[in-house]
């Protein structure tokens, strides 16, 4: 089932009644709205004048709905997640924490190789040269000791956008603003799936920054990034203004969880595919599998 994403960019009062999310607005004339909580996958809270009841937060968390809040720059800055995301959580975390260094290096090798392969497929889809990326995808060694991930990313972004002076930088020129927002949504999707699979989003297989609470999410989302890139490139090519991240652009980017992807030979919404990826990661930690299941960009 595809879960809904709700975005609140104006003042509102959010509460719950009869297992429904109830929305009331301060403006006169606006009617109360209700949405079944069981249908919700993501709730994005942007306006600082949004009030949320604790009863609603409890029900959203119990439904495994990701509640995302935004900073003053309108970018997602926090994610509310349940303390218990899976019935076997303690056991699954133990397998994750006990994962050997060779296993984690192998998992990162698979992740980087598939990410570069997906980047190459995206360039080819846009009628751009991807021979170097195709070659690098096959040359990734255990742990990516030669840092092919960074080398490929630099080449990829140099060739993806035909924009003078563009380079991938969080504080760089547009459409970096769109990429930042899209990747933040993708990160939330990944963290939600990891928690639902009983894993710790903070303990990565490659990323180890002690100030980063989502190291594993940053690892696992890598092969999914080209799906954000293709949506952003479509926006750029559409001709609509994108220097400012307005509500219309945010609305488009909030469709990322519902994007169709191909995984294991079948079409699936991205949010569902991510759950299959995180479950395959647990199976690798368990020892019942050695293969991470990622989507193929087609």
**Residue 195, CA atoms < 13 Å, CB-side half-sphere:** 22
> Residue 61 has what pLDDT?
94
Phi and psi, residue 269, nearest 5°: -60, 145
Annotated binding site: 149, 207, 222
pLDDT digits (tens, 9 = 90+) for 231-245: 999 999 999 999 999
Distance linking the first and last C-alpha atoms of the chain: 23
Average pLDDT, the chain: 95
Cβ atoms 68, 44 nearer than 8 A: yes
What the block records as the tokens of 51 is 């009030």
Q: What is the rounded average pLDDT of the residues 256-278?
A: 97
pLDDT confidence tier of residue 18, bands split at 50, 70 and 90: very high
β pairing state of 20-24 and 33-36: antiparallel
In this prediction the pTM is: 0.93
User: How many angstroms separate the CA atoms of 295 and 178, rounded?
Assistant: 22
Annotated binding site for Mn(2+): 149, 207, 222
Top-confidence residue, 210 or 290: 290
State which H helix or E strand residue 79 sits in.
Answer: strand 76-80
pLDDT digits (tens, 9 = 90+) for 34-90: 999 999 999 999 999 999 999 999 999 999 999 999 998 888 889 998 888 888 999
Domains assigned to the chain: 4-80 (3.100.10.20), 89-286 (1.20.120.920)
The CB density around residue 50, as the number of other CB atoms within 10 Å, is 16
Q: What is the rounded average pLDDT of the residues 169-178?
A: 95
Q: What is the rounded average pLDDT of the residues 206-222?
A: 94
What the block records as the tokens of 15 is 């509460």
Closest residue by Cα to residue 76 from 243, 189, 222, 168? 189
Phi and psi, residue 50, nearest 5°: -95, 130
């Amino acid at each position: 089932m595809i879960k809904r994403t709700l975005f609140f960019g104006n003042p509102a009062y959010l509460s719950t009644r009869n297992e429904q999310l109830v929305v009331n607005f301060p403006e006169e004339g606006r009617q109360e709205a209700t949405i079944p909580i069981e249908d919700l996958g993501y709730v994005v809270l942007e306006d600082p004048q949004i009030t949320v009841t604790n009863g609603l937060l409890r029900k959203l968390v119990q439904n495994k709905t990701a509640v995302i809040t935004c900073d003053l720059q309108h970018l997602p800055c926090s994610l509310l997640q349940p303390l218990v995301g899976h019935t076997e959580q303690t056991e699954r975390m133990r397998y994750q924490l006990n994962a050997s260094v060779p296993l984690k290096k192998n998992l990162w090798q698979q992740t980087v190789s598939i990410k570069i392969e997906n980047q190459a497929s995206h360039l080819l889809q846009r009628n751009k040269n991807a021979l170097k990326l195709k070659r690098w995808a096959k040359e990734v060694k255990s742990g990516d000791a030669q840092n092919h991930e960074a080398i490929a990313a630099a080449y990829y972004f140099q060739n993806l956008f035909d924009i003078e002076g563009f380079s991938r930088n969080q504080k760089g020129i547009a459409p970096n603003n769109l990429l930042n927002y899209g990747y933040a949504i993708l990160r939330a999707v990944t963290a939600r799936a990891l928690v639902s699979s009983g894993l710790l989003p903070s303990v990565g297989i490659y990323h180890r920054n002690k100030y980063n609470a989502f190291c594993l999410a940053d690892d696992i989302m890598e092969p999914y990034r080209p799906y954000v890139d293709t949506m952003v490139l479509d926006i750029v090519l559409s001709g609509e203004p994108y220097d400012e991240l307005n509500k219309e652009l945010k609305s488009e980017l909030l469709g990322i969880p519902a994007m169709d992807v191909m995984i294991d030979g079948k079409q699936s919404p991205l949010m569902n595919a991510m759950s299959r990826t995180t479950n395959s990661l647990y199976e690798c930690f368990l020892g019942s599998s050695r293969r991470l299941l990622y989507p193929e960009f087609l």
